[in-house]
Amino acid sequence: MSDATKVLARCHELARITDVEGETTRTFLSPAMRRANDLVTTWMRDAGLNVRTDAAGNLRGVRLSTSEKAKTLILASHLDTVPNAGAFDGVLGVMMALAVVENLGQASLPFQIEVVAFSEEEGVRFGVPFIGSRAIVGTLEELLLGRKDLTGTSVREAIHAYGLDIEQLPDAVVPDALGYLEFHIEQGPALESEGLPLGVVETIAGQSRYELVFTGEANHAGTTPMPLRHDAMSAAAQWITEVETHARATRGLVATVGSVATVPGAGNVIAGEVRATLDVRSANDEIRDGAVTHLLHHANACGTARGVTVTSTLRMKQDAVPLDYGLLTMLEDAVDSTGAVIRRIVSGAGHDAMIVAPYMPAAMLFLRTPRGLSHHPDEAVLPADVQLGLDAGAAFVRLLAARENAR
Ligand SMILES: [Zn+2]
């Protein structure tokens, strides 16, 4: 069996471990997550790794170095999923990390390698993503630990119920990281549209998310003359088309109104209130901030024209995260050594690499995603691309070892 075949077989095996029969759903510290961790533990042990579960539920396997005071290269991704997920988002990155380590055999390296399977990235159970990666950089704070799921269980209680000790959380932090590398499917169509297997991530796009409330006046749809209306729906609709128009006209910007709710929401009543979300992303913070300013201003203008007031509330703001230039160029050399074309790429989605990047040099390799389809049962990846990614990963480890030995 080729390495890529083995990686894919393991991903499919993990996809059958689920909290919901007939689909692939594994959330933070769920029963299925425990079974998935048990299975990956056996693979890690077979690979000769020292395995432990940290206090945030991250599964960690260390390949020790012969050299004393060796720092740690982290190879990581996540094992949790969205509801009714595919087999590869996150899981592929963990299985590729493990395969890279397995292929090292007895080779002596000037650093340790720690394979980390994050317990939580998707934010499904607690509505907050990146619990696992926050733990390894020490930013899983009180506020987050108190956050509750739909059953009223807090993160802190979930950790306790799983049999872990929250007091041990400081031990989850990696004190001496040499670097971080994550393999992940692109989850978008860029690489496939260019016929390229791999992408070296240079930046993870920044995001701004708002909730807007358009408040007009509900009234009778038959008896209220057009000039006398305060129609919140018409104001919101005009604004939504500008969100699309502005983003189409701005290079490197995406903007989305993904959800609207109308009150009272009846066919024969003029809408008195519309609540709408706004999600704006770009690798360039100035472009993103400029777009947000314009779009919020425009929302007010759409309201004013109809006697509708508009309020906006910031729900999330995350600046763009550039990945480490030194590791990025090393990863490009590694990709080059496989014969694949080097393509730098911006990630429009958030990833664990974005959480760890402020604390350690971080790099990320994307694999082409057929049809750009992800967070879907039909999510796929090509075996040849996985093999190229593994080859690039092996080359990356060799290059990093050469750099460290030369110090
Ligand atoms: Zn993911």
Q: Cα of 234 to ligand 1 centre, how many Å?
A: 37
Q: How far is the CA of 314 from the centre of ligand 1 (A)?
A: 25
pLDDT above 90 for 374: yes
Q: What percent of the chain has pLDDT over 70?
A: 100
Average pLDDT in the 121-129 region? Answer: 91
Please give the distance, rounded to the nearest whole angstrom, from the Cα atom of residue 48 to the centre of ligand 1.
26
- Separation of CA 121 and ligand 1 centre (Å): 7
Q: Cα of 326 to ligand 1 centre, how many Å?
A: 24
Q: Which residues are annotated as a binding site for Zn(2+)?
A: 78, 89, 122, 184, 375
Instruction: Report residue 66's pLDDT band, with 50, 70 and 90 as the boundaries.
Output: confident
Compute the distance from residue 344 Cα to the ligand 1 centre, in Å: 19
Q: Note the pLDDT of residue 27.
A: 96
What local confidence, expressed as pLDDT, does residue 110 receive? Answer: 95
Average pLDDT over residues 322-335: 98
Residue 163 Cα to ligand 1 midpoint, Å, equals 26
| CB-count burial class (<10 Å; 0-12, 13-18, 19+) for 170 | exposed
Q: What is the mean pLDDT of the chain?
A: 96
pLDDT exceeds cutoff 80 at 75 = yes
300 vs 294: CA distance, rounded Å: 10
pLDDT at 336: 98
Rounded to 10 degrees, what is the CA torsion of 41, 386, 12, 6?
-60
Question: Picking from 31-45, 122-136, 242-256, 297-311, which range would have the lowest pLDDT averaged per residue?
Answer: 122-136
Q: Note the pLDDT of residue 69.
A: 84
Residue 297 confidence (pLDDT)? 98
Distance 388 CA to ligand 1 centre (A): 20
In the chain, % of residues over pLDDT 90 = 95
Residue numbers belonging to the annotated binding site: 78, 89, 122, 184, 209, 268, 281, 375
Chain centroid to CA 121: 6
What local confidence, expressed as pLDDT, does residue 145 receive?
92
- pLDDT at 111 exceeding the cut of 80: yes
User: Tokens standing for 257?
Assistant: 């109104």
Average pLDDT over residues 133-141: 94
Band (pLDDT 50/70/90 cuts) for residue 139 is very high
Q: How far is the CA of 270 from the centre of ligand 1 (A)?
A: 42
Binding site listing for allantoate: 209, 268, 281
Tell me, what's the pLDDT at 67?
A: 82
Show the domains of the chain with their CATH numbers.
Answer: 3-204+320-405 (3.40.630.10), 207-318 (3.30.70.360)
Q: Separation of 355 CA from ligand 1 center, angstroms? A: 13
3-state secondary structure of 228: helix
Q: How far apart are the CA of 122 and the centre of ligand 1, in A?
A: 7
User: Which among 174, 187, 262, 251 has a CA at the least distance from the CA of 218?
Assistant: 262
pLDDT at res. 373: 95
Give the pLDDT confidence score for residue 12 in this predicted structure.
98
pLDDT band at 143 (very low <50, low <70, confident <90, very high): confident
CA of 107 relative to ligand 1 center, distance in Å: 30
